[in-house]
Structures are given as structure tokens and as C-alpha cells.
Amino acid sequence: MAEHEMLLGFIAFASLFLFIVTLFVLPWLVAQIPSDYFLTKRRRPAQWKQVHPLLRYAVLVLKNLAGVIIFLAGIAMLLTPGQGLLSILLGLMLMDYPGKFQLERQIITRLKLLRFMNWLRRRQKKPPLLLEP
């Protein structure tokens, strides 16, 4: 333990930092999800299609990069304090990949996670997330 004191200190600091950030950022991100997001495979047309292609691709890269960072932080939070499963779901929702909708639906149908997300949405005065029966 003495040999890795600096590494353990970094891990403890990173864990505390991620925990504090998730307390503020994740509720806001959950509130941004449209309530009908999980109802259909068809998504609303992106507003970015009318923007210059260079700007559109820059936003796409940044969105996917943010998704990867939140996803990896979620994996770390499975082992440390934090909202790991919720972070993983939000990271996956930001990224673009094949089979995205099916994976998101599989994760959100976990009753505890859905209840927690709807509780966060209620606190932000947003309607609950809707799922197909």
C-alpha cells in the first residue's frame, strides 16, 4: 500500500470528483431526455441537418466523445461511489452505434433504474419517461 500511495490518492480524488459531478450533471441530463424517447425506433429529425456539414460533424464528434467519457465514468462508478448504471445509460444514449435503441430499451426496462430516472425528472418538473407495454 505504501508503494502506491499516490495512485490510491488519485483514485480516491477521482472517485469523489465523479460522485460530486454526477450529483449535478446527471439529473440535468435525465431531464433533457424527451419523455417519448423510448417509445419508437424512429427518432425526430435532427435540427443539425440544416447546419454546415463541418459544424455538424464537429458536434457529432464532441457528442460521441462526451458519451464515451460518461460511459467510462459509469463503469468506474460501478466500483466506486456514484451512479454507475445511470451514467452508463446516459453515455450510451449520447453515442451513435448500431443496435443503440435495443440496448437502451434493455437497460431502461430495469424497474429500479426507470423509477430513479422518473424521480429525477419529477424533481426537474418534467413528465415521466414513457415505455411501450
Q: How far apart are CA 37 and CA 45, in angstroms?
A: 13
The DSSP-derived string for 83-128 is -HHHHHHHHHHHS--TTHHHHHHHHHTSHHHHHHHHHHHHHTT-PP
pLDDT in tens, 1-59: 667 788 878 877 877 777 787 778 778 888 888 888 888 765 555 666 677 888 888 98
pLDDT in tens, 59-115: 889 999 999 988 888 888 787 766 777 788 888 888 988 888 888 888 888 778 888
| pLDDT reported for residue 106 | 84
Q: How far apart are CA 70 and CA 92, in angstroms?
A: 8
What are the structural domain ranges in the chain? Answer: 2-39+48-123
